[in-house]
Amino acid sequence: MTCFKHLCLFLLLFFFAGASFSKSINSNPGRQYIGLNDQWSFSKDEQIREDVNLPHTWNAKDVMDDAPGYYRGTGWYKRTLKTSPAMKGKMLFLCFDGVNQEAEVYVNGQLAGKHAGGYTRFIIPVTKFLKFNSDFKNEVMVKVSNRYQEDIAPLTADFTFFGGIYRKVGLLITDPVHFYNGDHGADGIYISTPQVSAESAQVALKYVLENAAGQSRKVRLNTALYNKEGRQVVRRSIVVTLKGGEKKTILMDLPKVDKPELWSPDSPVLYRVVSSILDAGGSNTLDELTHSIGFRWFKFDAEKGFFLNGAPLKLMGASRHQDYEGLGNAVPDALQIRDVELLKEMGGNFLRVAHYPQDPVILETCDRLGILASVEIPIVNGITESLAFSENCRNMQVEMIRQNYNHPSVVMWAYMNEVLLRPKFGNDKPRQELYFKHVFELAQSLEELTRKEDNSRYTMMALHGDFDRYHKVGLTKIPMVIGWNLYQGWYGGSLADFGRFLDKHHRELPDKPLLITEFGADADPRIRSFKPIRFDKSVEYAIKFSQVYLNEMLSRPFVSGGMVWNLADFNSETREETMPHINNKGLLTLGRQPKDTYYLYQAYLLKQPFIKIASKNWTARTGIADSSKSFSTQPVQVATNLKSLELFLNGKSLGIKESTDRICTWDVPFSAGKHQLKAVAAQHPELSDLADIEFTLMPYLFTEKTFSTLNVLLGSERYFIDEKNHVLWTPDQPYRKGAWGYIGGTAFRGGNNRMTYGSDKNITGTDSDPVYQTQQVGIAAYKMDVPDGFYELSLYFSELQGGAEKEALAYNLDDAQQKEISDQRVFNLNVNGHEFLKDFNISEEYGYTRAAQKLIRIQVANGKGIVLDFNPIKGKPVLNALSLRKLN
């Protein structure tokens, strides 16, 4: 009869909440969690409302358009919450897993609670605001703002501050006697393993119990530990008396666990701790919670690196941002879990949860898969020198630690990222010194707070590569571990500087363990180059960059590990470059498709034999035929952790190659048409990898039989795959008789030292920015010795020089930025002697950095081909790209 009553109560609660049930049914009648993620409406102005489900962000689309900026303001969410008489006498709470970044929660028109900070859970008690009598409908409204607020971190960052209720929301129902959930969003249970060895382990628990009723209650607190097979290992039970309205802290040690199964990346064994509050007689469960724990011990050594369970372990993995293609940061659980699975499949054993605490499912998955982790609060680039800012940061740190305290995967808490990247008051040195003092004081305060909250884990700050500045300010002395975010050979310096920096740290801070918390080069998967150079955004340069960094880190025992930046591409609305609004340093695309670099990391990190054709996703290729040959020879890279491989093209062997830095390279002769590549290893016949290639062969010399289209990027050394328009773009060449090419001029170079050629500006009016980001400046002519016939010629222009000055982005530390001069550029263009463009002024007609296209149809006769003559009137003529298509 009792079980039947409990079932009826649960069904009543479920029905009246008017929501889908989001978690497994709990046999504990004292606690229920009901998801409230449907039946919401949303409005920015309280006039026009739209129906939405959670998670939700209002910035999923506007962060990707050409208009600078995105909506940072207020949004209102509204929902009806149905109650029932069965809920009377219970305690009800609204639980928010994440709202960015300021929230006010109203129930039936009354303010129930507030929260500041966009990345941690908060729980609002709502019992006293709800109606339980004749009218069961309650209105819940949530005011959300992602405005700039100088007292809430982050202030600025190379990622987007999406607004909205972007994580799950639920209704929590408990008995008046329950595990206290008013402690910074935590659940009132804190589990530690103060002593662990292969022989035995100790489990210590800190409970916070609350009796919200008016009368005193005597209850029984039970704790049981279960192994992975579900067998009870140890248990303990005590009687607790709670006064009316009392919150009581209980410390409990479980009996010793003999020969525990240890948690590690190779064997992530989890035990279950089941904590129960029962009435004094033990017949009714008032509250119950289950947590997973793992037995492990670890340490960082400044000379020898990281050790887990007494054995050395190189921590290799990635950092992660939480947004996803088309969704912003409102990402369902399944996709977030998949991110951690992809890290594991890469061979990674560490996740830097950056730059903020993420959805609870992330660390839950790390626990389950054996991924070690660090978590940090979002103090990025700088601070505000105010008491409110400091208090908000301290509160975020406490929320982060207490909410994630029980995860065996977490080995470090962190609290600042590149905080001196572009320090304030550069023109006022005394004032800047005061600012540095305040940064130091906040760091010291957070360090002390963190060690007080949790003395079982390490602390860390992530610093950018200005070693001397951080050391002088004193920040290198504060945390237990230093994380360095290093980009030598990308934003500045050379690849060789990376290893020298590691040795400098070891020499000058010999007692301070270090991690490389960021490193990486942008890899736009649409851009390829056989002459890769820094900042060309090619996948090939990212491969080269990664090889150097991985080799340097893996060869130095004192480097505890490295986290590539980033696991996946992520949104950064202020970025421009080849794929505007996207940071392309991910090993995966924003939609989580692997790049060549992901396969390279698998070759470095996986223990089992591995073969993968690195460029297998480059399925549509183009190239110019070799001299008078009927094929074009192009390099193909295969990633492997084996000594040698053999490559076959359409069943014919291209020979065996030794691997260098986990890559084997062949020069492959591609003829026009379809091809299949197959990579095999003689020592592992069961292993192979295939890639299907469609190759478009461009003629070395024009003939009527071989020519159909020509798509050329001027001033460029890179290929561009425009999948949206199904166009393959190739680098240009100087004019060669019988072929095509430019005459005169030089490749455009932007106003910074990062770019060897081209511009990194956002080209508005197109999604094919790389078509317009390079150009030939001062071009005199362009010749195409095509056969007679009818042709359609498209010419692509964009004025790359000048325009409105934009504030330098914080991560671009190139101090050699040059002020651009907006010279007048006016020219005439004749096609085969006929005037096509007269007094053409790109900036006057189209503005700056906007895509422009001019089209003309031409009849070629008498073997004269096509000749474009550029005649300057003011400044130097330019051409960015051209496309020629034969019509008959």
DSSP H or E segment with residue 451: helix 429-453
Question: Per residue in 637-653, is it b (16+ CB within 10 Å) or e — as a string?
Answer: bbbbbbeebbbbbeeee
**Cα 834 to Cα 828: distance, rounded to the nearest angstrom:** 11
Give percent of the chain above pLDDT 70. Answer: 94
Question: Per residue in 477-514, is it b (16+ CB within 10 Å) or e — as a string?
Answer: ebbbbbbbbbbbbbbbbebebbbebbeebbeebeebbb
| 7 band by pLDDT with thresholds 50, 70 and 90 | very low
| Cβ atoms 639, 602 nearer than 8 A | yes
Q: How far is CA 403 from CA 120, 322, 386, 425, 453, in A?
A: 8, 18, 26, 37, 12
CA 812, distance to chain mean position in Å, is 18
Average pLDDT over residues 54-70: 96
At 491, list the tokens.
Answer: 């934003």
Quote the pLDDT of residue 20: 33
**Cα 47 to Cα 53: distance, rounded to the nearest angstrom:** 19
At 625, list the tokens.
Answer: 């035929």
**Cα 714 to Cα 645: distance, rounded to the nearest angstrom:** 37
**Cα 476 to Cα 131: distance, rounded to the nearest angstrom:** 55
Instruction: Quick: pLDDT tens for 545-569.
Output: 999 999 999 999 999 999 999 999 9
Stronger pLDDT, 817 or 349, i.e. the higher one: 349
Average pLDDT over residues 583-593: 98
Residue 325 has pLDDT above 70, yes or no: yes
At 337, list the tokens.
Answer: 């879990």
Instruction: Give Cβ neighbours of residue 882 (< 8 Å, ≥ 6 apart).
Output: 710, 711, 712, 714, 782, 793, 794, 795, 796
Quote the pLDDT of residue 754: 79
Give the phi and the psi of residue 216 in degrees, each rounded to 5.
-70, 145
Name the β-bridge partners of 74. 145
| Cβ atoms 645, 657 nearer than 8 A | yes
Active-site residue (options: 104, 288, 399, 418): 418
Instruction: Quick: pLDDT tens for 201-260.
Output: 999 999 999 999 999 999 999 999 999 999 999 999 999 999 999 999 999 999 999 999
pTM value is 0.95
Segments of 682-762 assigned E as strands:
684-698, 709-713, 719-722, 727-731, 740-743, 746-747
| 18 band by pLDDT with thresholds 50, 70 and 90 | very low
| 819 band by pLDDT with thresholds 50, 70 and 90 | low
Residue 28 has pLDDT above 70, yes or no: no
| 22 band by pLDDT with thresholds 50, 70 and 90 | very low
Residue appearing with tokens 């016949």:
685
Quote the pLDDT of residue 6: 44
Average pLDDT, the chain: 94
- With vertex at residue 887, the alpha carbon angle to CA 884 and CA 888, rounded to the nearest 5 degrees, is 135
Quote the pLDDT of residue 1: 39
Average pLDDT over residues 100-125: 98
- Say whether 229 is catalytic: no
**Cα 795 to Cα 799: distance, rounded to the nearest angstrom:** 13
Peptide bond into 397 cis (omega under 30): no
Helix (H, G, I), strand (E, B) or coil at 129: helix
Residue 716 has pLDDT above 90, yes or no: yes
Give percent of the chain above pLDDT 90. Answer: 90
Q: Residue 766's CB: how many other CB atoms inside 10 A? A: 20
Q: Residue 184's closest CA among 397, 450, 474?
A: 397
Residue 4 has pLDDT above 50, yes or no: no
